[in-house]
Structure 1
Amino acid sequence: MNPGTFLTPDGCRFCVWAPDRSRCELVLVGPAEGIYPMEKDSAGYWTVTIPGVQPGWLYRYRLDGREEFPDPASRCQPQGVHGPSQVVDDSFPWTDRSWRGLALSDYVLYELHVGTFTPEGTFAAILPRLPELRELGIRALEIMPVAQFPGRRNWGYDGVYPFAVQVSYGGIHGLKTLVNGCHEAGLAVVLDVVYNHFGPEGNYLARFGPYFTDSYRTPWGPAVNFDGAGSDEVRRFFLENARSWFFEFHVDALRLDAVHAIHDESAFPFLEELALRTQDWERELGRPLVLFAETDRNDPRLVRPRPGGLGLPAQWCDDFHHALHALLTGEKHAYYVDFGGIADLAKAFSQGYVLDGRFSSYRRRRHGAPPDGIRRHQLVVFAQNHDQVGNRARGDRLSVLVDFPSQKLAAAALLLSGFLPLLFMGEEYGERRPFPYFVDHENPELLEAVRKGRQREFAAFHDVAGTEIPDPAAEATFASAVLQWEYRHDGSHGVLWELHRELLLLRRRFPILQPRESIEVAAAADEPSGLLRFRRRSPEAEAEVFFNFSSGPRPVAIETDRPPAGKLFDSEEPRWLGTGAVAPGRLEPGSVLILAPRSAVLYIRE
């Protein structure tokens, strides 16, 4: 028994899990009306098949003859999270049969929010921009959550119908059209899914069954029941959800939001089961499928193979961002207190984790574990993402926090790191509009609670004295986040766009810059001078990047002792609006390399 609605030759089969209810009825509310008793099986699934039901018909479930609710496995909520569910036709004219997927090591991710990526805020409006993203060097579109949420404005993490696609974005058909278009453009699709909590409005799952547990809590509300009584069917609910994205929607990868908030103390954790199932589905579909675990735990067990690990393919690496951000901005509040030195960034270049069991002043305890055995293509790194931008008081981007040379330096550090890089929409051209937090709840009391909660959060997290925090419920807050895409090729914006394209082109052209297992890495930092040297070596080639993170005013002179190597990138060249190409075009033993403040130079020997 799978929950949801299924069109069959005999009619439409309705199925819902409500194990503790003594009575369940299907209520059709349009265009035809009627109340139909449902039959219950031993696992607590209620079913009924109704002839003549067509796509577009609306329905609810009536529990114990009293309360009526939408379907927890609804595929469409045309009237919002409180309205009736809708029967849908899941057929689609796919034309992506030649798509064979993307190997994990080839991922270059571009994270976007559907509602603010374009003025239209729809799946359809993204399609015309795909060719340029491909030209930039993007290989995978990572879409922030699209499960139906309250209203029209939300980051997506307040979704309450995991199987439904946000109507205002274009619904199921719109998402499938986008995925199909991505594959035709040679782009993989990563979908952000939230299995650790549900949003606070329109969440009726607890009325149907033990979807939640009191044994744990999350920062966002009740924890999902993955290991308590009744958890077998709860787990199945989410496994079926994951399967639907891969099979029905042709999605290539899932980003699993905040897996550290998926509490599960069972001997066979949900994440391990999901990883195993995904391997089965990969074989069945004949193309690569990926699970990206988003976590701040620095726990290598997530990606270590079974037995001993959970066997997930890859995970987010916050430490790279924190080390780079703290170094460029000088910020020391909240978790940035644990970062700031060049040695921290060198460690991030070497192994991803900076906090690998060492003491964290922010947490006042040791944090993380050594990332032994983790390969570079198992870590996603970034200079910006929706969390690190949007959870600032004003949602301000790096482009308004640092100067242009520092933006170029951030791009070089990210794209030459040898990990899997992620760009946040607009980062490639230095978008200056913010990405603040925004919601569109219908409940005024909930809206006020959100406003006060954000104020408390920023009071504890940031020094926000005198800072006006944007009202998350205001439409103007949402509108302020819409990209100024039309400026992407103007002035310094265009130069930064071309710089990103050049670095990604070099990454594709030279295997030594890619996350391959045969490559040895080493990073060394000199704190007083601001110099960081990052070396990658394989039997066939060697690459070395010289970074000067000093804010000046004097350049740094380095006498090299390496074999001859040619220069492939210099952020100080005039075409990158630099001060002039001061680094020699070729390094020889004994050469003196002059590095301007906030600059990066790449040399490769083959």
Structure 2
Amino acid sequence: MTGGSPLPGRGVDGDFAVWAPHRDRVRLRLGTAADPEPRVADMERGADGWWRTRVDGAGPGTAYAYLLDEDPLPLPDPRSRHQPDGVHAPGRVYDHAAFAWTDAAWTGRPLEGAVVYEMHVGTFTPGGTLESALERLDHLVDLGVTHVEVMPVNAFDGTHGWGYDGVLWYAVHEPYGGPDALKGFVDACHGRGLAVLLDVVHNHLGPSGAYLPRFGPYFSGENAWGPSLNLDGPDSDPVRRLVLDNALEWLREYHLDGLRLDAVHALRDDRAVPVLEELSAEVETLAAGLGRPLSLVAESDRNDPRTVLPREGGGTGMTAQWSDDLHHALHVALTGETHGYYADFAGPGVLPAVLTRVFRHAGTYSSFRRRTHGRPVDTARVPGSRFLGYLSTHDQIGNRARGDRMGEHVSPGLLVCGAALLLCSPYTPMVFMGEEWAATTPWPFFASFTDPDLVEGVRNGRRREFAALGWDTAEIPDPMDPATRDAAVLDWSQPGREPHAPVLEAYRALIALRRAEPELSDPRLDRFAVAASEDGRRLVLVRGSLRVVCNLSGEPAPVELDAAPREVLLASGAPETDGTRVRVPGECFAVLRV
């Protein structure tokens, strides 16, 4: 791939480089915006469209920006590693080698067999920083999760937000603590045996501070969030390198164990070797060099199992992908909601079918898309561990009008039944922060832009979006009100009191049992079966010699098994056995050995 540059834009040793192929003049400006006499140096244009210069003494901490043609506005480096004054200000030269790591003994964790925990830094603790998040890492260890998936930390405008409005992909959001704080977080996680995945967003830019297109043809066409990245058009080689280098830098310089790739279906790419396949190959090479596993987890709306097939088998080589169909089937079975896209997941046979086949829409008609969608998963070839299953995610909660969690709509018993179905399944389970104790704190969309027009545009946009889905717009919290973010912060007093403590204990016990009984984490879909009652309210997961019985109805009910139980390994209510018949209390589960 051409168009790259050794450590482009890094500047640690006084070398600066920026790609601006269609500009007639590029200058390096040293100093902050408030500096009355900044130092300005002309840069030399190369045939590859990269502008370069060397400035002696411009070491770590030096403020710098670029001036394009005769525009007086200094712009931050598209590859800036440190933006202490925000996304509109000059960046600072940052030296990755200066951090003192203590994780030399860390050998990584594969995603297969993992239990993932999705966390948003800004609402995980009242402090809302990577440093304050360290105070709760022992909770995650006690819970038994193996991987922490951190929602985006790339620099975005404002103080609080989801992180998907990032505009500088290489820089860590300063209100979270900046680059050293992320390294400290990863280092501390590794010290506790926790792997760290980072959610990265390359499919679009946020609406404020999106200066990238001023430097070059980084975008072409449109997707659901605005301009699409130019991955296959003229001058697209350096654009692809921006993405690839960014991914590799997160893994190499921040010691991350993998990346969650946001909405890869929005990466428009018509090349023979798509950027995801290229990324997979380069990450595989990096993993070999580092001597530890590295994972790539895609969020894809395509329902295409080729996303997780090996490159040699015609796939893109992703380690795993999210499966919203699994979520939707579980959500409808537990809550009874059937509006919007949930309508396709209603019916007593849907949950058993999705549990065994991964996708509801697998070459079948999708009513909310108004077209045929998806491709079947070959369950004899593709293990369930390549699909993340979940009861809730930031999207599935945050894209509800009020940001209300499932625990608001179902009993603790039903929530625990859902956890049993998930944690005893062949899939890689993921828990959204607070779910493990049935947190009541909402998690709606919030942001903190300062431009008045943008603020009003976001408010109106959310109202229109929810109105189109049939939600009562009067319920929508103001996404720009700081109180909306504050209400989303986890209440850490809840895990120790009723009714939350028993839910947390059930999650801990289920995760521990999954680790202790290999049959519960067996990813082979062709050895997994689900039996269900006619009304779909009683389900039995067949996991080798184990049977996971879930009674989703409110009344005790008998369930006929294929063999007599010999042992009760775990139960949320006392089951009664009589030969091959098991009577399970309402809204309870039992894990039995037969």
TM superposition score normalised by structure 2: 0.95
Deviation at 1:271, TM superposition (A): 0.6
CA contact (8 A) 2:397 2:404 kept: yes
Deviation at 1:104, TM superposition (A): 1.8
- Is residue 57 from structure 1 mapped to residue 62 from structure 2 by the alignment? yes
SS in 2 for 1:47: strand
Query: Partners in 1 of 2:586 and 2:361 — Cα distance?
Result: 28
Q: What's the counterpart of residue 76 of structure 1?
A: 82
Query: Partners in 2 of 1:559 and 1:260 — Cα distance?
Result: 43
Query: Partners in 1 of 2:47 and 2:592 — Cα distance?
Result: 67
Q: What's the counterpart of residue 267 of structure 1?
A: 272
Query: Partners in 1 of 2:348 and 2:420 — Cα distance?
Result: 15
Query: Partners in 1 of 2:525 and 2:472 — Cα distance?
Result: 47
Q: What's the counterpart of residue 485 of structure 1?
A: 492
Query: Partners in 1 of 2:478 and 2:342 — Cα distance?
Result: 25
Q: What's the counterpart of residue 407 of structure 1?
A: 415
Aligned counterpart for 1:548 among listed residues 539, 548, 551:
551
Q: What's the counterpart of residue 39 of structure 2?
A: 34
CA contact (8 A) 2:328 2:345 kept: yes
CA contact (8 A) 2:65 2:75 kept: yes
Deviation at 1:411, TM superposition (A): 1.3
Q: Give, as a single letter, the amino acid of the residue that structure 2 aligns with 1:111.
A: E
Query: Partners in 2 of 1:355 and 1:549 — Cα distance?
Result: 24
Deviation at 1:305, TM superposition (A): 1.5
Note the residue ranges of structure 1 that are not aligned, 5 or more in a row: 573-580
- Is residue 144 from structure 1 mapped to residue 146 from structure 2 by the alignment? no
Aligned counterpart for 2:19 among listed residues 17, 20, 40:
17
Aligned counterpart for 1:530 among listed residues 537, 548, 564:
537
Q: What's the counterpart of residue 45 of structure 1?
A: 50
Note the residue ranges of structure 2 that are not aligned, 5 or more in a row: none
SS in 2 for 1:222: strand
Q: What's the counterpart of residue 575 of structure 1?
A: none
SS in 1 for 2:213: helix
The within-5 A match list for 1:215-226 is 217-226=222-231
Query: Partners in 1 of 2:524 and 2:538 — Cα distance?
Result: 27
**What does the per-residue CA deviation read over 1:504-557, in whole Å, with 9 as the maximum and x for residues that have no partner?**
0000001101134497111122232622121122xxxx111112222x3x4221
Q: What's the counterpart of residue 210 of structure 2?
A: 203
Deviation at 1:563, TM superposition (A): 5.0
CA contact (8 A) 1:239 1:274 kept: yes
Q: What's the counterpart of residue 475 of structure 2?
A: 468
Q: Give, as a single letter, the amino acid of the residue that structure 2 aligns with 1:291.
A: L
Q: Which moved more, 1:28-37 or 1:218-227?
A: 28-37
Q: Give, as a single letter, the amino acid of the residue that structure 1 aligns with 2:550.
A: F
Change (3 A) 1:342 1:6: farther
Query: Partners in 2 of 1:462 and 1:514 — Cα distance?
Result: 39
Q: Give, as a single letter, the amino acid of the residue that structure 2 aligns with 1:336.
A: Y
Aligned counterpart for 1:598 among listed residues 574, 584, 587:
587
Aligned counterpart for 2:428 among listed residues 407, 420, 442:
420
Change (3 A) 1:559 1:62: closer
Q: What's the counterpart of residue 104 of structure 1?
A: 111
**What does the per-residue CA deviation read over 1:246-284, in whole Å, with 9 as the maximum and x for residues that have no partner?**
110000010000011111111110011001111111111
SS in 2 for 1:324: helix
Q: Which moved more, 1:20-29 or 1:486-495?
A: 486-495
CA contact (8 A) 2:348 2:536 kept: no
Aligned counterpart for 2:510 among listed residues 485, 489, 503:
503
Query: Partners in 2 of 1:249 and 1:330 — Cα distance?
Result: 43
Q: Give, as a single letter, the amino acid of the residue that structure 1 aligns with 2:568.
A: K
Query: Partners in 1 of 2:522 and 2:427 — Cα distance?
Result: 6
CA contact (8 A) 2:438 2:503 kept: yes
Change (3 A) 1:207 1:288: same
Q: Percent identity?
A: 45
Q: Give, as a single letter, the amino acid of the residue that structure 1 aligns with 2:403.
A: G
SS in 1 for 2:105: coil
Q: Which moved more, 1:469-478 or 1:71-80?
A: 71-80
The within-5 A match list for 1:423-442 is 423-442=431-450
Query: Partners in 1 of 2:343 and 2:536 — Cα distance?
Result: 21
- Is residue 334 from structure 1 mapped to residue 327 from structure 2 by the alignment? no
Query: Partners in 1 of 2:55 and 2:522 — Cα distance?
Result: 54
SS in 2 for 1:105: coil
Q: Give, as a single letter, the amino acid of the residue that structure 1 aligns with 2:591.
A: L
Q: Which moved more, 1:267-276 or 1:487-496?
A: 487-496
Query: Partners in 2 of 1:385 and 1:99 — Cα distance?
Result: 28
Q: What's the counterpart of residue 237 of structure 2?
A: 232
**What does the per-residue CA deviation read over 1:212-263, in whole Å, with 9 as the maximum and x for residues that have no partner?**
002xx21111001111111110000111001101110000010000011111
Deviation at 1:127, TM superposition (A): 1.0
SS in 2 for 1:545: strand
Q: Give, as a single letter, the amino acid of the residue that structure 2 aligns with 1:566.
A: E
Q: Give, as a single letter, the amino acid of the residue that structure 1 aligns with 2:335.
A: T
CA contact (8 A) 2:76 2:91 kept: yes
Query: Partners in 2 of 1:293 and 1:228 — Cα distance?
Result: 23
Q: Which moved more, 1:428-437 or 1:482-491?
A: 482-491
Q: What's the counterpart of residue 364 of structure 1?
A: 370
Aligned counterpart for 1:120 among listed residues 87, 106, 127:
127
CA contact (8 A) 1:349 1:534 kept: no
Q: Give, as a single letter, the amino acid of the residue that structure 1 aligns with 2:512.
A: L
CA contact (8 A) 1:346 1:534 kept: no
CA contact (8 A) 2:426 2:524 kept: no
Query: Partners in 1 of 2:212 and 2:182 — Cα distance?
Result: 25
CA contact (8 A) 2:308 2:316 kept: yes
CA contact (8 A) 1:70 1:85 kept: yes
CA contact (8 A) 1:149 1:160 kept: yes
The within-5 A match list for 1:161-180 is 161-180=168-187
Q: Give, as a single letter, the amino acid of the residue that structure 1 aligns with 2:590.
A: V
TM superposition score normalised by structure 1: 0.93
Q: What's the counterpart of residue 253 of structure 2?
A: 248
CA contact (8 A) 1:282 1:288 kept: yes
SS in 2 for 1:603: strand
CA contact (8 A) 1:158 1:199 kept: yes
CA contact (8 A) 2:575 2:590 kept: no
Deviation at 1:329, TM superposition (A): 1.3
SS in 2 for 1:417: coil
CA contact (8 A) 2:363 2:374 kept: yes
Change (3 A) 1:529 1:453: closer
Query: Partners in 1 of 2:547 and 2:501 — Cα distance?
Result: 27
Query: Partners in 2 of 1:516 and 1:334 — Cα distance?
Result: 31
CA contact (8 A) 2:564 2:580 kept: no
CA contact (8 A) 1:149 1:158 kept: yes
Q: What's the counterpart of residue 361 of structure 2?
A: 355
